[in-house]
């Protein structure tokens, strides 16, 4: 019962470095999401992928890129990290359209600090 | 633009007391509504959801929520709070764009 698995769980980056957050789900879900969580701001959508082969921008996509590698995996890349990207990142997945009754499941989060 | 407002940033209740967490949304039509709970250092867990039908929905851990269209609200309630309910609670809506929009959260503290 792994569900949604994110790696790494913790990471410290220097400004300008690049890194990729990995996410995999084993529930055969079609839709996958990347959110960031900042104090007092709830979760904000960075990118999502409604199905394999498609990706769409969310509320805060600047500074990020994503790849839907296959149905299981959805990675988030920071090309040139900035201190403003210090946050907790959550990957999530859902079986299909949320308004079709599908529930979204979250990973446990990745804590990223950019110094 | 669609938005979700949780007006209470922090709430403290005594163990055994009742709880109501407020959530208001701004959207042209009735969205799909959710409540999630996040324990410290953890991901989010779904408490309950409303899609249609009965406006009072039951969830896990003894929580319920009532959808009130006239007030654009979806408040979360629990009759008797337990110390283990201390966490952060997020209201979320799916306005039909395939992803959830979250409120800023309400942190619940439970006093013994």
- Shortest Cα distance, chain A CAs vs residue B8, angstroms: 11
Tally of CA atoms within 13 A in the half-sphere of A88 that contains its CB? 17
HSE, side-chain direction, 13 A CA sphere, residue A7: 4
Task: Give B-chain residues touching A35 at CB under 8 angstroms.
Answer: 102
Tell how strand B32-38 and strand B44-50 pair up.
antiparallel
Residues of A in contact with B29 (CB under 8 A): none
Give pLDDT, residue B97. 63
Collapsing DSSP states into helix, strand and coil, what is residue A83? Answer: helix
Please report the pLDDT score of residue A10 as a whole number.
96
Contact between chains at B96 and A107 (C-beta distance less than 8 A): no
Query: How many angstroms separate the CA atoms of B24 and B8, rounded?
Result: 11
Chosen from A66, A98, A101 to mutate, greatest number of chain B CBs within 10 A = A98
- Per DSSP, A51 falls in state S
Contact flag A42-B104 (C-beta cutoff 8 Å): yes
Per run of 10 residues, the mean pLDDT along chain B (length 112 residues) is 88 97 86 90 89 90 94 96 96 80 94 92
* A99, pLDDT greater than 60: no
Nearest to B96 among A44, A99, A107 (CB): A99
Residue B48: closest CA among chain A residues belongs to which residue?
A103
pLDDT tens profile A39-92: 888 899 999 998 888 999 999 999 999 999 899 999 999 999 999 999 999 999
Rounded Cα distance between A75 and B15, Å, is 42
Note the pLDDT of residue B15.
97
Helices (H), chain A: none
pLDDT value of position B40: 85
Report the alpha-carbon distance of residue A114 to residue A7 in Å, rounded: 17
> Distance between CA atoms of A67 and A110, rounded to whole angstroms?
17
A10, two tokens: 């913790």
Contact B91, B27 (CB under 8 A): no
Residues of A in contact with B104 (CB under 8 A): 40-42
Question: How far apart are the CA of A55 and the nearest CA of chain B, in angstroms?
Answer: 12
**Burial of residue A92, with CB atoms counted within 10 A of its CB: 0-12 exposed, 13-18 middle, 19 or more buried:** buried
Rounded to whole angstroms, the Cα distance separating B104 from A39 reads 8
pLDDT score, position A96 = 67
| pLDDT beyond 80 at A98 | no
Confidence bin at A100 (pLDDT 50/70/90)? low
Place of tokens 């959508």: A45
Distance from CA of B2 to the nearest CA of A (A): 11
| Facing B99 at nearest CB: one of A41, A42, A45 | A45
Instruction: Give the pLDDT confidence score for residue A101 in this predicted structure.
Output: 64
- Taking CA atoms, A21 is separated from A65, A111, B49, in Å, by 10, 10, 29
Q: Is the pLDDT of residue A25 over 90?
A: yes
Using alpha carbons, list the distances in angstroms from residue B111 to A57, B7, B13, B38, B87. Answer: 42, 21, 6, 18, 13
């Amino acid at each position: 019962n792994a569900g949604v698995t994110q790696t790494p769980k913790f990471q410290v980056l220097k400004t300008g470095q690049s890194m990729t957050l990995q996410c995999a789900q084993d529930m055969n879900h079609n839709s996958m999401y990347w959110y960031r969580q900042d104090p007092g701001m709830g979760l904000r959508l960075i990118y999502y992928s409604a199905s394999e082969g498609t990706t769409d921008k969310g509320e805060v996509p600047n500074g990020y890129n994503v790849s839907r590698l296959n149905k299981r995996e959805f990675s988030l890349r920071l090309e040139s990290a900035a201190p403003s990207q210090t946050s907790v990142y959550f990957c999530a997945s859902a079986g299909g359209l949320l308004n079709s009754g599908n529930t979204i499941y979250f990973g446990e989060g990745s804590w990223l600090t950019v110094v | 633009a669609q938005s979700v407002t949780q007006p209470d940033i922090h709430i403290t209740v005594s163990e055994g007391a009742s709880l109501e967490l407020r959530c208001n949304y701004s959207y042209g039509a009735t969205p799909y509504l959710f409540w999630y709970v996040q324990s410290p250092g953890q991901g989010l867990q779904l408490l309950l959801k409303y899609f249609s039908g009965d406006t009072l929905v039951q969830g896990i851990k003894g929580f319920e929520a009532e959808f009130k269209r006239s007030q654009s609200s979806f408040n979360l309630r629990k009759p008797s709070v337990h110390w283990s309910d201390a966490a952060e609670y997020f209201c979320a809506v799916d306005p039909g764009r395939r992803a959830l929009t979250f409120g800023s959260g309400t942190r619940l503290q439970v006093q013994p």
